[in-house]
Structure 1
Amino acid sequence: MKKDIFIGILVGLIANAIGLYFAATLLGQGDDFLTVVKAAADEGFLGKLISLGAILNLVAFFVFIKKKQDYRARGVLLITVFIAVFTFVFKLF
């Protein structure tokens, strides 16, 4: 059970990282990833960029639900909630 939740957390983190990369690439207008992330941090929309990256977690969640791997889906959901809280706190400070 704990192993499946941990796998779900890892999948959620990887999906979020890939989604963040795609969002930065699409919205970055040809700039490289680190330049876009630094510009997003300077301009105050890094939290929004991270939230866009979390969209791939939705895909991972529904794949795990479809395969009846509920504990892995729970891990993806936990990391998604953690990312939401992180972006909220990041936006406050």
Structure 2
Amino acid sequence: MNNIVKQVLAGTILGFLVSALGSFIFMLILLPTNDLQNTFNKLLASGLLTKIITLGTLPNALVFHLLIKNKRDYIARGVLMAVVLLAVLFAALKML
């Protein structure tokens, strides 16, 4: 594989991981309970899970800024691609 493709793929994976970690942190802050599975099920049933994941995507802006500042443009493109893919996915879910 081309080096550019590897960097964009690494950035996309990084974007998804940062979004997952941010979502987990927002769940812990906003809904401090001991049972994570029960909290996840409540959020899914109430339709708030997509909103929590969207809030969890906000730290990607910081990651994107740091990557651009350090001249890691292709990895930053991958992070941006992850954000766009999540946005399209949640827009499609809203329409269903």
**Partners of 1:91 and 1:32 in 2: how far apart?**
27
**CA deviations over 1:50-80 (Å, ceiling 9, x no partner):** 1011011111111110101110000000000
- The count of corresponding residues between Structure 1 and Structure 2 is 93
- Is residue 77 of structure 2 the alignment partner of residue 71 of structure 1? no
Q: 1:42-53 maps to which residues of 2 (within 5 A)?
A: 42-53=45-56
Q: Which of these residues, 7, 10, 28, is aligned with residue 7 of structure 1?
A: 10
The residue type equivalent to 1:32 in the other structure is D
| 1:91 positional shift | 2.0
Length-normalised TM-score, structure 2 = 0.89
Q: Could you tell me which of 22, 32, 36 is aligned with 1:33?
A: 36
Q: Which has the larger radius of gyration?
A: 2
* RMSD after superposition: 1.2
Q: Tell me, yes or no, if the aligned pair for 2:15 and 2:78 is still in contact at 8 Å.
A: yes
Partners of 2:52 and 2:34 in 1: CA distance = 15
Unaligned 5+ segments in structure 2 are none
- Residue identity (%): 31
TM-score normalised by length of structure 1? 0.92
